[in-house]
Amino acid sequence: MCIFCKIISGDIPNKTIMENETFLAFEDINPLRKIHILVIPKEHFSSFNTTPANIIGQMTGFIQELTKKLNLNENGYRLITNIGENGGQEVEHLHFHILGGEKVGRLVDKR
Ligand code: AMP
Protein backbone atom coordinates (compact mmCIF):
# COMPACT_ATOMS: atom_id res chain seq x y z
CA MET A 1 0.00 0.00 0.00
CA CYS A 2 1.42 3.45 -0.86
CA ILE A 3 2.06 6.06 1.85
CA PHE A 4 -0.95 8.20 0.89
CA CYS A 5 -3.25 5.12 0.83
CA LYS A 6 -2.00 4.45 4.39
CA ILE A 7 -2.99 8.02 5.32
CA ILE A 8 -6.46 7.42 3.85
CA SER A 9 -6.83 4.10 5.72
CA GLY A 10 -5.73 5.79 8.97
CA ASP A 11 -2.55 3.69 9.36
CA ILE A 12 -0.49 6.91 9.14
CA PRO A 13 -1.80 10.01 10.98
CA ASN A 14 -2.43 13.30 9.17
CA LYS A 15 -3.57 16.81 9.89
CA THR A 16 -6.82 16.94 7.94
CA ILE A 17 -7.97 20.31 6.61
CA MET A 18 -11.04 19.17 4.66
CA GLU A 19 -12.48 15.94 3.27
CA ASN A 20 -15.47 14.41 1.55
CA GLU A 21 -16.13 10.85 0.44
CA THR A 22 -13.85 11.17 -2.60
CA PHE A 23 -10.99 13.53 -1.59
CA LEU A 24 -8.78 14.43 1.37
CA ALA A 25 -6.85 17.67 2.00
CA PHE A 26 -4.14 17.55 4.68
CA GLU A 27 -1.02 19.43 5.78
CA ASP A 28 2.25 18.54 4.08
CA ILE A 29 4.66 17.06 6.66
CA ASN A 30 7.50 19.23 5.33
CA PRO A 31 5.87 22.61 4.56
CA LEU A 32 7.70 24.69 1.96
CA ARG A 33 5.57 27.83 2.53
CA LYS A 34 3.34 29.17 5.34
CA ILE A 35 0.48 27.18 3.88
CA HIS A 36 1.34 23.87 2.24
CA ILE A 37 -1.58 21.50 1.78
CA LEU A 38 -1.82 18.29 -0.24
CA VAL A 39 -5.05 17.25 -1.93
CA ILE A 40 -5.48 13.59 -2.87
CA PRO A 41 -8.22 11.34 -4.22
CA LYS A 42 -9.13 8.51 -1.82
CA GLU A 43 -8.89 6.07 -4.73
CA HIS A 44 -5.31 5.30 -5.77
CA PHE A 45 -4.10 6.77 -9.09
CA SER A 46 -0.36 6.88 -9.64
CA SER A 47 -0.23 10.42 -11.11
CA PHE A 48 -2.15 13.06 -13.06
CA ASN A 49 -1.44 11.05 -16.24
CA THR A 50 -3.39 7.99 -15.14
CA THR A 51 -6.29 9.75 -13.40
CA PRO A 52 -9.68 9.78 -15.17
CA ALA A 53 -10.76 13.22 -16.36
CA ASN A 54 -13.97 13.11 -14.31
CA ILE A 55 -11.93 12.68 -11.10
CA ILE A 56 -9.75 15.66 -12.05
CA GLY A 57 -12.94 17.62 -12.72
CA GLN A 58 -14.39 16.77 -9.29
CA MET A 59 -11.03 17.53 -7.69
CA THR A 60 -11.09 21.00 -9.25
CA GLY A 61 -14.36 21.74 -7.47
CA PHE A 62 -13.00 20.36 -4.19
CA ILE A 63 -9.84 22.51 -4.42
CA GLN A 64 -11.86 25.62 -5.28
CA GLU A 65 -14.09 25.02 -2.24
CA LEU A 66 -10.99 24.53 -0.04
CA THR A 67 -9.18 27.68 -1.20
CA LYS A 68 -12.37 29.70 -0.74
CA LYS A 69 -12.76 28.32 2.80
CA LEU A 70 -9.11 29.21 3.62
CA ASN A 71 -9.48 32.73 2.11
CA LEU A 72 -6.66 32.07 -0.35
CA ASN A 73 -8.47 33.33 -3.43
CA GLU A 74 -8.01 37.07 -2.95
CA ASN A 75 -4.20 37.01 -2.66
CA GLY A 76 -3.67 33.86 -4.68
CA TYR A 77 -1.74 30.64 -4.25
CA ARG A 78 0.17 28.09 -6.31
CA LEU A 79 -1.29 24.77 -7.40
CA ILE A 80 1.22 22.12 -8.50
CA THR A 81 1.17 18.46 -9.39
CA ASN A 82 4.50 16.78 -10.07
CA ILE A 83 4.49 13.98 -12.63
CA GLY A 84 7.16 11.31 -12.94
CA GLU A 85 10.91 11.54 -12.58
CA ASN A 86 11.49 14.74 -14.54
CA GLY A 87 8.56 16.37 -12.75
CA GLY A 88 10.08 15.55 -9.36
CA GLN A 89 7.27 13.26 -8.19
CA GLU A 90 8.24 11.33 -5.04
CA VAL A 91 4.94 9.82 -3.93
CA GLU A 92 3.21 7.82 -6.65
CA HIS A 93 -0.35 8.70 -5.66
CA LEU A 94 -1.89 11.72 -7.41
CA HIS A 95 -1.60 14.83 -5.26
CA PHE A 96 -1.91 18.55 -5.82
CA HIS A 97 0.23 20.86 -3.69
CA ILE A 98 -1.44 24.10 -2.56
CA LEU A 99 1.24 26.64 -1.59
CA GLY A 100 0.34 30.05 -0.19
CA GLY A 101 -0.15 32.30 2.81
CA GLU A 102 2.73 34.42 1.47
CA LYS A 103 4.34 35.22 -1.89
CA VAL A 104 5.38 31.85 -3.29
CA GLY A 105 7.93 33.35 -5.70
CA ARG A 106 8.67 32.74 -9.33
CA LEU A 107 9.98 29.50 -10.74
CA VAL A 108 13.74 29.88 -11.16
CA ASP A 109 14.97 29.83 -14.75
CA LYS A 110 17.62 27.09 -14.84
CA ARG A 111 18.18 27.09 -18.61
P1 AMP B 1 5.98 15.02 -4.52
O2 AMP B 1 7.47 15.30 -4.50
O3 AMP B 1 5.22 15.94 -5.43
O4 AMP B 1 5.68 13.56 -4.76
O5 AMP B 1 5.47 15.41 -3.08
C6 AMP B 1 5.33 14.52 -2.02
C7 AMP B 1 5.01 15.34 -0.80
O8 AMP B 1 4.49 14.48 0.19
C9 AMP B 1 6.23 16.06 -0.18
O10 AMP B 1 5.97 17.47 -0.16
C11 AMP B 1 6.31 15.45 1.22
O12 AMP B 1 6.71 16.39 2.20
C13 AMP B 1 4.88 14.97 1.43
N14 AMP B 1 4.74 13.88 2.40
C15 AMP B 1 5.39 12.70 2.40
N16 AMP B 1 4.97 11.93 3.43
C17 AMP B 1 4.00 12.63 4.07
C18 AMP B 1 3.17 12.38 5.21
N19 AMP B 1 3.22 11.24 5.90
N20 AMP B 1 2.29 13.35 5.59
C21 AMP B 1 2.21 14.51 4.91
N22 AMP B 1 2.96 14.79 3.82
C23 AMP B 1 3.85 13.88 3.41
Instruction: Compute the residue count for the chain.
Output: 111
Mutate to test the pocket of ligand 1, among 38, 44, 81, 92 (most ligand atoms within 8 A of CB): 38
pTM, entire model: 0.97
How far is the C-alpha of 66 from the C-alpha of 80, rounded, in Å?
Answer: 15
**Ligand 1 site: residues with CB under 6 angstroms?**
3, 12, 14, 28-30, 38, 82, 88-91
pLDDT band at 111 (very low <50, low <70, confident <90, very high): confident
In terms of C-beta density within 10 A (0-12 exposed, 13-18 middle, 19 or more buried), how is residue 21 classed?
exposed
Please name which of 73, 63, 81, 82 lies closest in space to residue 100, comparing C-alpha atoms.
73
How far is the C-alpha of 15 from the C-alpha of 31, rounded, in Å?
Answer: 12
pLDDT tens for 87-102 read 999 999 999 999 999 9
What's the gap in Å between 37 CA and the centre of ligand 1?
10
pLDDT tens for 21-76 read 999 999 999 999 999 999 999 999 999 999 999 999 999 999 999 999 999 999 99
State which fold the 34-101 domain adopts: HIT family, subunit A (3.30.428)
